Amino acid sequence: DGYHTVMTHRSMCELGLLPPDNVAVSPAHVSLSGGHGAGVLGAPPGIPAPPYMGYPEEVVSGLSEGYGHDVHGELLKRTM
């Protein structure tokens, strides 16, 4: 349930009950079949996110092999 905090509690900001969320300004949740889903966050404008979510180099170096295609590793590079 990695999207719970961002997606559920974000509604409090959208309703004006909490101050604007400066950390996750553009969250998205994609629902897939079989009960699966994906949560996507973006860094605030002007604040660079660490590449590969800050994972250490030994993890990053195995991404293409683990995913089987470079495009997946490149997507993770730009994702929080």
Would you write out the chain's pLDDT as a tens digit for each of its 80 residues? 555 666 666 677 778 777 666 555 566 778 888 888 877 766 666 777 778 878 888 888 877 676 666 777 777 777 65
Q: Are the C-beta atoms of 52 and 77 separated by less than 8 Å? A: yes
Where do we find the tokens 């949560």? 39
Cβ atoms 63, 52 nearer than 8 A: yes
The pLDDT score that the predictor gives to residue 77 is 77
Q: What does pTM read for this prediction? A: 0.41
Question: By the 8 A CB rule, do 37 and 3 touch?
Answer: yes
